[in-house]
Amino acid sequence: MGHSVSRGQAGAQHIVSSEHAAGNEDVEPAEGAGTGGADGPGEPGEQPVETRGEAPAATPAEIPAEIPVEGSAADGGEDRPVWDVVVVGAGPAGASAAYAAAVAGRSVLLLEKAELPRYKTCGGGIIGPSRDALPPGFDLPLRERVHAVTFSLNGKLTRTRRSRNMLFGLVNRDEFDNSLVESALKAGAEVRTGVTVSRVEQHGPAVPDRRTVAVVLAGEEQPVLARAVVGADGSASRIGAHVGVKMGQVDLGLEAEIPVPESVAEDWAGRVLVDWGPLPGSYGWVFPKGDTLTVGVISARGEGAATKRYLDDFIGRLGLAGFEPRISSGHLTRCRTDDSPLSRGRVLVCGDAAGLLEPWTREGISFALRSGRLAGEWAVRIAEAHDAVDARRQALNYAFAVKAGLGVEMGVGRRLLRIFSRRPGLFHAALTGFRPAWNVFARFTRGATSLAEVVRVHPIARRALDTLDRREPERDERADRAEEGDTTIAPDSDSGTVDGSAGDGGSGGADGPTSGRSA
C-alpha cells in the first residue's frame, strides 16, 4: 500500500494512506517509477502568467472542489485534483525538481515506488557542483571527508596525492536521498511512496483537457492529473521512454559494501583509492564510510564476466577478500546521445532518466541535482502555460539550459573517455607526476572549476585535448585497415608503449589497508 507524506497546516509532517490522501485504491508494488538540479535563471523576457505570492503551496486536497482555480479539476468535469507539477522518482533529481517547484509556490506531488529510505548502488561521492546545487541550509549527511586520493594503474604504480583542504565528501545514498526528500516536504511538496507509475498519457479519455497530463499508477483506477510532469525515474525510465530518450553510452557498475574492523577503517580514513582498470574505459574505487568500505568497478556493458573478474581481483589485491560484503549489487549507467530529446509536450526528463551524467567518470549525482532543479523550475513555467505553443517554448528553454551547461560538460567528458579508453597510463602519469594536472583534479572536485571550463580557458589544455582526441580516430582507422589486410599502413609506433605494459593484469600492490600508504 502506498503512503502519502505531506506538510500539514501547522508545519508538521504526517503520514496517511495514499487512498485517503488522493482518493485512490490500494497499490500493488511493482516495477516502474524509480528514483532519480542545475541552477537555472528564469527565461529572459518571460513573465509568469500567475503569481501566488509567498504563501506555502496548497495541495489539491486542501482546495475546495467548488472553487475553480488553476490547478483544480473543475474544468475536467470530475471532482479530481490537478497538481501543478507531478515528479516521478524521489532520488536526487526528483527531489531537487520537487523542491524547486514547491518553493515557487506550486502544488507538487512526488511519487516513488520504494519505501524511503532505501539502498541505492552508488559510490556516494559529493563533489563541489553537487554541494552547490543543494537546497539552502541543507545538512549534508557526510560519512567521510576526503583529503587524499591514491591512484593505481591496475594495481601497479601506486601513488597517493594529498590536500590540506577537503576534496569531496562521501555519503550513503539512503540517508542523502531521504534528506533531499525531507527538504522537498518542508518546501511544501507532498510525497507518495510505494506507488508504481505505469505510463503517462497526454491524449485520450484519461486526459480531461489539453493542459493536463495523466499519470497512470499500477493498481489504481484513476490516474493522477498534472499540468506538468517531471520524469526522474532512473536510467530505465518509463517517462524517458515516453519522451523518446536515446542512450548512447551504457556501462555496467558492480559494487560491494564491505564492513571492516576498526584497524582497517582507520587506515582508509580521509582517503579514497582510484584504480585505472584493465578493460578499456574501466576504473575501480574504494570509498570509506566509517566502518564500511564501498568497493566498486565500472566498465562498458557487454563485458560482464570480465568486469566481475576485475572486481574480484581488485578486492583480492586490496586484502579485503576475507571480509563478507554486507551488500553486493550492480547497475547500468546510461549517457544520452547529443540529439536525445529532453521533453515531450508537458513532460520533462532529468537526471538518469534523461541520460545526464559525466561520461568519463560516470558521476551522476551532480548532474541529477542540477538538472533536477532546472526541470522543477521550468515545469512551473509549463504548468502556467495556457496553450501548447507556450508549453513548447518553455520546454525548449529547459532543453537549451541543460545543453548549454551540462551538455557542454558531457561533450568534454566524452572526449576524455575516448582518450582514457586507449591511454589510461597517460592519465595516471599526469595525475601522479604532473602537479598542474593534480591541481585541476583538486579544483574540479571542490567545485572551483569544471572540465569544460579548463578546456575553454586554458589554451594548453585545449590543444592537448584536440591533439589526443584527433589521434584516436586515426588509430582506430589504422587498426581497422590492418585487420582487413592493408599492409600499406605502417604500425603505430606509440601503440602499447605506455598502456600495454601497464595494462597487463597482475596483482601488484595496490595502496590498500594491508600495504600501507605510498608517498
351, 336, 459: which is closest to 34 by C-alpha? 351
Domain enclosing residue 343, as ranges? 28-36+77-136+172-246+337-408
How many other CB atoms are there within 10 angstroms of residue 26's CB atom? Answer: 12
The widest CA-to-CA distance across the chain, in whole angstroms, is 82
The answer to whether residues 9 and 20 touch, using CB atoms and an 8 Å cutoff, is no
The answer to whether residues 92 and 230 touch, using CB atoms and an 8 Å cutoff, is no
How many other CB atoms are there within 10 angstroms of residue 139's CB atom? Answer: 9
The answer to whether residues 234 and 36 touch, using CB atoms and an 8 Å cutoff, is yes
User: Can you tell me the distance from the alpha carbon of 133 to that of 432, in angstroms, rounded to the nearest whole number?
Assistant: 30
Q: Beta strands 283-289 and 271-276: pairing type?
A: antiparallel
In DSSP terms, 276 is beta-bridged to: 153, 283
- Total of domains in the chain: 1
Would you give the DSSP letter of residue 441? H
User: Can you tell me the distance from the alpha carbon of 475 to that of 11, in angstroms, rounded to the nearest whole number?
Assistant: 62
Q: How far is CA 15 from CA 5, 119, 214, 317, 320, in A?
A: 5, 21, 24, 48, 42
Cβ-proximal residues to 459 (8 Å cutoff; 6+ apart), any chain: none
466-504 b/e (C-beta count within 10 Å ≥ 16 → b): eebeebeeeeeebeeeeeeeeeeeeeeeeeeebbeebbe
Q: What is the CATH number of the domain that holds 199?
A: 3.50.50.60
Does residue 196 fall inside a structural domain? yes
Does residue 235 fall inside a structural domain? yes
The residue with cell 526528483 is 94
Radius of gyration of the chain (CA): 24
- Over 35-87, what HEC string results? CCCCCCCCCCCCCCCCCCCCCCCCCHHHCCCCCCCCCCCHHHCCCCCEEEEEE
Does residue 358 fall inside a structural domain? yes
Q: Beta strands 224-231 and 82-88: pairing type?
A: parallel
User: Can you tell me the distance from the alpha carbon of 216 to that of 394, in angstroms, rounded to the nearest whole number?
Assistant: 24
User: Can you tell me the distance from the alpha carbon of 41 to that of 453, in angstroms, rounded to the nearest whole number?
Assistant: 20
Does residue 294 fall inside a structural domain? no
Would you give the DSSP letter of residue 220? -
Does residue 187 fall inside a structural domain? yes
Range list of β-strands (E), 168-246: 168-170, 190-193, 197-201, 213-217, 224-231
User: Can you tell me the distance from the alpha carbon of 214 to that of 199, in angstroms, rounded to the nearest whole number?
Assistant: 8
Is the bond preceding 117 in cis, omega lying within 30 degrees of 0?
A: yes
Q: What is the pLDDT along the chain (519 residues), one digit of tens a residue?
A: 466 655 433 333 333 333 333 333 333 333 333 333 333 333 333 333 333 333 344 444 333 332 233 333 333 445 679 999 999 999 999 999 999 999 999 999 999 999 999 999 999 999 999 999 999 999 999 999 999 999 999 999 999 999 999 999 999 999 999 999 999 999 999 999 999 999 999 999 999 999 999 999 999 999 999 999 999 999 999 999 999 999 999 999 999 999 999 999 999 999 999 999 999 999 999 999 999 999 999 999 999 999 999 999 999 999 999 999 999 999 999 999 999 999 999 999 999 999 999 999 999 999 999 999 999 999 999 999 999 999 999 999 999 999 999 999 999 999 999 999 999 999 999 999 999 999 999 999 999 999 889 988 888 888 888 888 876 554 444 444 444 444 333 333 333 323 333 333 333 333 333 333 333
Does residue 284 fall inside a structural domain? no
Does residue 229 fall inside a structural domain? yes
The answer to whether residues 451 and 128 touch, using CB atoms and an 8 Å cutoff, is no
User: Can you tell me the distance from the alpha carbon of 423 to that of 431, in angstroms, rounded to the nearest whole number?
Assistant: 13
User: Can you tell me the distance from the alpha carbon of 288 to that of 283, in angstroms, rounded to the nearest whole number?
Assistant: 17
Does residue 122 fall inside a structural domain? yes
How many other CB atoms are there within 10 angstroms of residue 266's CB atom? Answer: 12
Cell of residue 169, nine digits: 565528501
pTM of the model as a whole = 0.78
Tell me, what's the pLDDT at 473?
53
DSSP three-state, residue 298: strand
